[in-house]
Structure 1
Amino acid sequence: MILSALLTSVGINLGLCLLFFTLYSVLRRQPINERLYAPRLVADRKLKQRSGFNFERLLPSVGWVKRAWDLSEEDLLENSGLDGVVFMRIFTFSLKIFSIASVIGIAVLLPVNFMGNQLEIDFSDLPNKSLDSFSISNVNNGSNRLWIHFCASYLFTVAVCYLLYYEYKYLSLKRVDCFYASQPQPHQFTILVRGIPVIAGQSLDDSVDHFFREFHPSTYISHTIVRRTSRLQQLTDAEKLYRTVAQLKSQEHTSQGSRYCGCLGLFRNKEQQLSKLEKRLEVVEDNMRIEQSSSVGKEVPAAFVYFKSRYGAAIALHIQQGINPTQWVTEQAPEPDDVFWPFFSSSYIKRWICKLWVFCASALLTVLFFLPVLVVQSLTHLEQLETYFPFLKSILALTFVSQVITGYLPSLILQLFLYFIPPIMKMLSSIQGYISMSEILKSACSKMLWFTIWNVFFANVLSGSALYGFDLFLEPKRIPMLLAQGVPAQATFFISYVVTSGWTNLSSELVQLFALVCSFLKRIFSGEESDDLVVPSIPYEKEIPRILSFGLLGVTYFLLAPLILPFILVYFCMGYLIFRNQLLTVYAPKHGSGGKYWTIVHNSTIFSLVLMQIIAIGIFGLKDLPLASSLTIPLPVLTLLFNEYCRQRFLPIFTAYPTECLVTKDRKEQGNPRMAEFLDKLVDAYQDPAIRPKYNDRDDDTHTSPLLRSSEIGI
């Protein structure tokens, strides 16, 4: 890519960012858009009511930037939980890293690269020259200036490792502080037991009760046997129907309510629609009660077991319960609202098969995605397009067209393809056998991260080089040399990718363009907006991998092409402000992992560092500086040793709370009179919501009473 093509891409995306910022600053101030741009504030009744027309609402404003900036970490912890704090610490951590990297890269490495003459640059026509002139490729082979890059690699590694250690330590202590400050939660006193052995003449309920009264007599309280409710999960639209019926009934009694609904309010009579929905709701309710009646005996060999103390639950969790390790298998229970109930309908063999199938499906998806990557890479080489499509030669000869195709279009196409991957990864994780939604999202986050690393980074690098020498790609022993040659060559593509997929994506997050269009069409065709206010949760499984992929690019290209660093720094500055605003006004937490996403961040950063160091070894070798290449070899070894130290020092805190914390917390609450009331209610915490759904109002009480009572579910 030439410099003018990059400037074209930057100009297009900068214009889009300014447009989105202006639109957001105006649209957010319109009362009709409050549910779209501030659903959390509307739900919490923290939004000031606006009445009457005000001309100031039509003028752009930057007041949201100040409110986002003033948000303290304590407020963020209260509003979004520890996961929200970890999410924003990714931005602050990245800002620290790339501020240091930008100072070293722009002030030192970039001039050194540009002053080289390996590529024989013609300064008289700089706009049409390749951006490789700003990369390490332009430094002369064997030049002593490469020792500056060598020193920079060590200095940068030390800085990143120090910041990683500080963040890991800070968040581990924050996790402990949150535990001490928390109120008693059901999942802290509960474990999930699977693989309950079936004993002849004994029910699962009797087996669980007898086992834990025998071996945990001082701490065991009771248990809940899990039941198979897979068919009930398919009938859970009763609550949605009930809300729709209630909404239509409320509109019936309002004076401004129209008798018609549908497209522009012309096609359907509301009374007819209400009658139809009520009949449908009755059918769904009756089907659910019939299925509930038949599900009483459909027990799954799994149970939630309750204990009197956190320490008692931890003892049962971490000690093998039976002689056979495949029986009485224990897991930490998730929060009651976080349980993924369809999981319990799967047997052990089915879960094992599902895990194998998910692994194969993820690998296949990763391999198949290589095809659109090849298409994207072909757009960055106009000479290949002219060879394969001769009829485009006259069009590609136009300067602006060629600049748009090479500078903007490849990143846009790759971004569109990547849009469909997060839902697929979430679906695959949901059938993998996890017992909570938070674990599903965390697993989807890991899958999406490694998918992005392979298909956005490695596939682009290898495909870009393999287009000219595919035989290199088929020889694994030459992969290190291929990376050393291919990674610097793709620097210009990734600069454009940061601008297109980074800047524009972040600014579009503010506008919520798709939701805005849907809301507008709904008001036109239905004549009114739904009364149901849905407060979304932030999609960590999509956003965290995207953020970490930009971190990978910044760390990897720190030595190779430091020109990318200012663009990445701008991305993290924008993300810091935008997501603070979104967490304050839009997103509300539904499921929490307790800050466990940081382990993914740490591992990804270590991987990025090691990758940078391995490429540096290859680069110094290719640049005829073998001594620097040899002296760089200890760097990845030291980095991996540092990673192992962090795993031993901090990872156990993110896996389970230590005895010191559990016993201290239990003793602190021992004399609290509310604990007795809490333990009494604990036995009702884990009941499948499909067993006791909400029903429409009817005259008889049988439709509103829970079908399964405590005595019927083994409590």
Structure 2
Amino acid sequence: MKLDALLTSAGINIGLCVFFISLYSVVRKQPSNLYVYFGRSTLTQERKKSNDSFKIGRILPTPAWILEAWGPTEDEILASVGLDAVVFLRMIVFSIRIFSIAFLICMFGVLPLNYYGQEMTHNRMARESLEVFTIVNVKEGSQWLWFHCLALHIISFSACTLLYFEYQRISKLRLDHVIACPPKLSHFTILVRSIPRLEDMPRDDAIKVFFITYHGMSYLSHQRIYQSGAFHKFMTNAEKLCRKFVPLRALSFNFKRIPAINRCGLCGGTSRSYDLHDNAFDIEERRTPLSCSGSGQREEEIHDPTGAISRSGRKKSACCKVLYFTIWNVFFVNVLSASVIHQLMFISQPKDIPFVLARTLPGQATFFITYVLTSGWTSLCAELVQCFSLTYNLLQKHVFRKKADDPNKVPTFPYHTEVPRVLLFGLLGFTCSILAPLILPFLMVYFSLGYLVYRNQMLNVYRTKYESGGQLWPVVHNTTIFSLVLAQIIALGVFGLKKSTVASGFMIPLVIFTLLFHEYCRKRFLPIFKKFSAQALVEMDRQDEMSGKMEEIHKLLQSAYCQTATIHEDELVDGCSREDN
């Protein structure tokens, strides 16, 4: 691929970005799109519906949304959106900082060395092949490879330093979040699975004996929950259907029998007459709970729950799965698909993995740069417009003539898809920094634009439906360490192919240092994201006892988790729980 072709592709995507941003700055001003672009603000009563009178400013693109997104401080975002949003934005800030360092080193140091790595006559800059800007253009045994090795060392040490301070800061925010979190019933509750059965006594009695025997000092009561499965889904759908018909009860009907005056046009017979009777049953009163002790299930049919116990736990699990799939599908498959022989070598000879990646990765740099343009720049700007929600809103209001402003349909931020996307671009930046530095300017634009776009969406569009207390940061840290180690292993293979044994030798201590740093952080900070200190929990319990809240909490616990047909997934909470200690 030639440089002018890359610039053409960049120009097309820049044009699309300008179009989406301009379109967004116009459609966000229309009162009919209030719930599309200000769903969260409307729910929190931060923004009221504007006057429907026409104004010329509504059809003119303006950058006002940029100033609104840039304005709030981190503390304001923490107070209004939550800790998860702060962690996500800190991930982008970390990416901006580390790739700013990589940009300065690689664009002004590594890139010229790659360009003049061979004694050759260069074409006009616009007609140059992109391979001359990669490490492939450096001749074997070149002394300039020392600078590539030094550049990767500087990037790795800078990344570890920034990661340490970010981990430290977010850990403190999580501790403050736990202490400041108001008492919840989930703080005093744990989910226990696989309690042994006793054949000579009922199940409830066996559970009570088990807790009294092994946890007598902390046991208050227990509630049995069941896997409702398809029945729970059926009841949820039935509730939604009932909500649609409840407004019909407010309509007035003539309850007398009215003879039909219209006749069927086909057979000439009179149509049947019907009596209209009032719907006497009350929906709220007819909801029958699933009894905790007599649900109608046989004893042998009751199984322990197996799937996440909270929405945040399910989202974190989905985030990890999407991350694994994305890294494998976008990075490894594309790198190894350059040659079938390379794929076979990757499978049959694992010791040659660094050399296989070193041979193929520089040649795939063009694809990754294009991927950043399309899946990065353009997708971010399309995220602003909310194409699906905007189309749905227009169809509901102007085609079907229905009210689409439903507060319950305001979406939550999709951490499980956006976190893997950002981490994938970070992996591309680390692995290509010294091999193909031309990707770094495009990544810098992506992270800078993403910082503004995501701040705007979190503050205005998405609502906060659950809070995990920053549980996503360990995923970010682990993936960043993996990206660093992968970049170092690939560089080790590249230096080996270029016959620079000394540079290869200096990469081994760097890999060891990165892994040791990861182990230190895992022991130093990770326990904070799994368990809480006994000191903080005891102080919180004392405060509750002194304020008289503990007795009220104990009373509510007796029936709080009694499973009913109307229980919602939103009630399964996660975050600051005191039961871990």
**TM-score scaled to structure 2, two decimals?**
0.87
Q: Is the 8 A contact 1:235 1:284 kept in 2?
A: no
Change (3 A) 1:21 1:619: same
1:121-146 CA distances to partner (integer Å, 9 max, x unpaired)? 5323x333321111111122211111
Q: Is contact 1:503-1:571 (8 Å) kept?
A: yes
Matched, 1:500 2:374: yes
Does the aligned pair in 2 maintain the 1:142–1:625 contact within 8 Å? yes
CA contact (8 A) 1:79 1:588 kept: no
In the other structure, the counterpart of 1:479 is 353
Give the 5 Å matches for 1:286-325: 289=288, 296-298=295-297
Offset, 1:680: 1.7
Partners of 1:438 and 1:591 within 8 A in 2: yes
Aligned position for 1:438 = 312
Partner of residue 149, structure 2: 150
1:553 aligns with 428
In the alignment, the residues of structure 2 paired with residue 561 and residue 662 of structure 1 have an alpha-carbon distance, to the nearest angstrom, of 50
User: What secondary structure sits across from 2:190 in the alignment?
Assistant: strand
1:597 is aligned to 2:472: yes
Task: Tell me, in whole angstroms, the C-alpha distance in 2 between the residues paired with 1:481 and 1:228.
Answer: 50
1:540 corresponds in structure 2 to: 415
Return the alpha-carbon distance in structure 1 between the equivalents of residues 60 and 299 of structure 2.
Answer: 60
Task: Tell me the equivalent position of 2:189.
Answer: 190
Distance 1:9 1:251 in 2: 59
Deviation at 1:678, TM superposition (A): 2.5
Question: What does the per-residue CA deviation read over 1:358-417, in whole Å, with 9 as the maximum and x for residues that have no partner?
Answer: xxxxxxxxxxxxxxxxxxxxxxxxxxxxxxxxxxxxxxxxxxxxxxxxxxxxxxxxxxxx
Question: Aligned-pair RMSD on alpha carbons?
Answer: 2.8
What residue is the counterpart of 1:57 in the other structure? 58
Q: CA deviation at 1:589?
A: 1.9
After superposition, the Cα gap between the structure-2 partners of 1:300 and 1:619, relative to the gap in structure 1 and judged at 3 Å, is farther
Provide closer, same or farther for how the CA distance between residues 128 and 546 of structure 1 changes in structure 2, counting only shifts above 3 A. same
Aligned to 2:80: 79
Q: Which amino acid aligns with 1:511?
A: V
1:678 and 1:172 mapped to 2: Cα distance? 28
Q: Measure, in 2, the Cα distance between the counterparts of 1:469 and 1:49.
A: 60
Shift of 1:531: 4.9
Q: Is the 8 A contact 1:227 1:300 kept in 2?
A: no
Aligned to 2:266: none
Does residue 76 of structure 2 align to residue 69 of structure 1? no
Q: Residue 519 of structure 1: which of 370, 386, 393 is its match?
A: 393
Cα contact 2:93–2:451 (8 A) shared by 1: yes
Q: For residues 632 and 25 of structure 1, do their structure 2 counterparts lie closer, same or farther at Cα, with a shift above 3 Å needed?
A: same
Paired with 1:78 and 1:174, the residues of 2 have a C-alpha distance of 12
The separation in 1 between residues aligned to 2:40 and 2:238, in whole angstroms, is: 25
Closer, same or farther: CA 295–209 of 1 in aligned 2, 3 Å? closer
In structure 1, distance between residues paired with 2:244 and 2:325: 40
What letter is aligned with 2:106? Answer: G
How does 1:204-283 map onto structure 2 within 5 Å? 204-230=203-229, 231-247=231-247
Query: What secondary structure, in the 3-state scheme, does the structure 2 residue paired with 1:608 have?
Result: helix
Q: 1:589 to 1:504 in 2, by over 3 A?
A: same
Deviation of 1:586 after TM superposition, in Å, equals 1.1
* Cα deviation 1:517-559 (Å, max 9, x = unaligned): 1221222332122453222111111010000000000011111
Q: 2 CA distance for matches of 1:121 and 1:462? A: 31
- Per-residue CA deviation, residues 228-261 of structure 1 (Å, 9 max, x unaligned), is 53323322223212321245567989xxxxxxxx
Greater strand fraction, Structure 1 or Structure 2: 1
The answer on whether the counterparts of 2:39 and 2:463 sit within 8 Å (CA) in structure 1 is no
Alignment of 1:654 with 2:525, yes or no, is no
CA 1:472–1:214: 2 relative to 1, 3 Å: closer
**2:2 corresponds to which letter in structure 1?**
I
Superposed displacement of residue 286, structure 1: 11
**Alpha-carbon shift at residue 163 of structure 1 (Å):** 0.5
How big is the shift at 1:347? 4.9
SS of 1:236 mapped into structure 2? helix
Distance 1:605 1:41, change over 3 A: same
2:449 is the counterpart of 1:574: yes
Equivalent residue for 1:638, pick from 513, 519, 537? 513
Asked whether the equivalents of residues 355 and 493 of structure 2 are also in contact (C-alpha less than 8 Å), the reply is: yes
Note the C-alpha offset of 1:34. Answer: 0.2
* Aligned-partner Cα distance in 2 for 1:504–1:195: 49
Could you tell which deviates more after superposition, 99-108 or 660-669? 660-669
- CA distance 1:483–1:548, shift in 2 (3 Å): same
Instruction: Tell me, in whole angstroms, the C-alpha distance in 2 between the residues paired with 1:649 and 1:250.
Output: 61
Q: Write the deviation string for residues 171-215 of structure 1: whole angstroms up to 9, x where unpaired.
A: 111111111111112121111111122223422222222332344
**Amino acid aligned to 2:479:** S
Q: Which runs of 5+ in 1 are unaligned?
A: 254-274, 302-343, 352-432, 694-715
From 535, 538, 544, give the equivalent of 1:663.
Answer: 538
Q: Secondary structure at the match of 1:227?
A: coil
How many residues matched?
A: 542
Secondary structure of the residue that 2:154 maps to in structure 1? helix
CA contact (8 A) 1:121 1:129 kept: no
Q: Which residue of 2 aligns with 1:10?
A: 10
What amino acid is the match of 2:102?
A: A
Cα distance in 2 between the residues matched to 1:232 and 1:442: 23
Matching residue of 2:577: none
Mapped partners of 2:87, 2:396: distance in 1: 36
Cα separation, 1, equivalents of 2:405 and 2:48:
19
CA apart distance, 1:672: 0.9
Amino acid at match of 1:438: S
Gaps of 5+ in 2: 254-274, 569-581
CA contact (8 A) 1:233 1:690 kept: no
Q: Distance in 2 between matches of 1:294 and 1:653?
A: 37
Residue correspondence of structure 1 range 28-427 to structure 2 within 5 A: 28-51=28-51, 52-117=53-118, 120=120, 122-124=122-124, 126-230=125-229, 231-247=231-247, 289=288, 296-298=295-297, 346-347=303-304
Determine if contact 2:342/2:356 at 8 Å carries over to the other structure: no
Match of 2:487 in 1: 612
- The alignment partner of 2:413 has SS state of coil
Q: 1:453 aligns with which of 310, 327, 352?
A: 327
Partners of 1:65 and 1:250 lie apart in 2 by: 45
Residue of structure 1 equivalent to 2:256 = none
CA 184–628 in structure 1, closer or farther in 2 if over 3 Å, else same? same
* Alpha-carbon distance change, 469 to 676 in structure 1, aligned in 2, over 3 angstroms: closer
Assess, with a 3 A threshold, how the Cα gap between structure 1 residues 285 and 234 changes in structure 2: closer, same or farther. Answer: farther
Distance 1:469-1:583 versus aligned 2 partners, 3 A rule = closer
Contact 1:227-1:298 at 8 Å conserved across structures: no
Once the two structures are TM-superposed, the CA of residue 468 in structure 1 deviates from its matched residue by 7.2
Q: Percent identity?
A: 44
Distance of 2:565 and 2:72 partners within structure 1: 39
**Hey, what's the Cα distance between the residues in 1 that align with 2:515 and 2:340?**
33
> Are residues 548 and 485 of structure 1, via their aligned partners in 2, closer, same or farther at CA, if it must alter by over 3 Å?
same
| 8 Å Cα contact 1:228/1:298 also seen in 2 | no
Secondary structure at the aligned position of 2:223 is classed as strand
Distance in 1 between the 2:473 and 2:347 partners? 36
* Most deviating of 59-68 and 470-479: 470-479
Stretch deviating more after TM superposition (105-114 or 291-300): 291-300
User: Any idea what SS the aligned residue of 2:224 has?
Assistant: strand
Question: What amino acid is aligned across from residue 143 of structure 1 in structure 2?
Answer: S
Q: Render the CA deviation track for 1:497-528: whole Å, top value 9, x for unaligned.
A: 00100001111111001111122122233212
What amino acid does structure 2 have at the position aligned with 1:33?
A: N
